[in-house]
Amino acid sequence: MEELEQWKEQLSHLSHLAMDRLREVPPNQLYVAAAIAIFTTLLLLSVRLFKRSKSNTIVLTGLSGSGKTVIFYQLRDGSTHEGTVTSMEPNEDTFILHNEKARKGKIKPVHIVDVPGHSRLRPKLDEYLPQAAGIVFVVDALDFLPNCRAASEYLYDLLTKGSVVRKKIPVLILCNKTDKVTAHTKEFIRRQMEKEIDKFRASRSAISAADIANEFTLGVPGEPFSFTQCSNKVTAADASGLTGEISQLEEFIREHVKQ
For the stretch 201-231, pLDDT in tens is: 888 766 554 445 556 888 888 899 999 999 9
Enter the pTM of the model: 0.76
Mean pLDDT of 85-93: 76
| Annotation: CATH topology of 57-256 | Rossmann fold (3.40.50)
Q: Which residue has the higher pLDDT, 121 or 29?
A: 121
- What confidence category does residue 79 fall into, taking pLDDT thresholds of 50, 70 and 90? confident
Query: What pLDDT was estimated at residue 93?
Result: 95
What are the residue ranges spanned by the domains of the chain?
1-50, 57-256
> What does the pLDDT average to over 38-67?
71
For residue 98, pLDDT beyond 70: yes
Model confidence at 40, pLDDT cuts 50, 70, 90, reads low
Which helix (H) or strand (E) segment holds residue 236: the answer is strand 234-238
- DSSP H or E segment with residue 193: helix 186-205
Q: Is 235 helix (H, G, I), strand (E, B) or coil?
A: strand
Which has the higher per-residue pLDDT, 25 or 186? 186
Q: Using alpha carbons, list the distances in angstroms from residue 38 to 16, 41, 42, 44.
A: 24, 5, 6, 10
In the predicted model, is pLDDT for residue 135 greater than 70? yes
Residues in contact with 238: Cβ distance below 8 Å, sequence separation at least 6, in sequence order: 141, 175, 178, 186, 245, 248
pLDDT of residue 51: 44
Average pLDDT of the residues of the chain: 83
Q: What is the mean pLDDT of residues 157-168?
A: 93
Beta bridge partners of 57: 111, 132
pLDDT attached to residue 205: 67
pLDDT for res 232: 92
Please tell me the predicted confidence (pLDDT) of residue 203: 81
pLDDT band at 95 (very low <50, low <70, confident <90, very high): very high
Mean pLDDT along residues 178-204? 94
High-pLDDT (> 70) share of the chain, %: 72
The predicted pLDDT at position 23 comes to 66
Q: Look at residue 240 and tell me whether its pLDDT is greater than 90.
A: yes
Q: Considering only 103-112, 166-175, 206-215, which range has the smallest mean pLDDT? A: 206-215
Q: In the chain, how many H helices and how many E strands?
A: 8, 6
Q: Which of 189, 196, 188 minimizes the C-alpha distance to 224?
A: 196
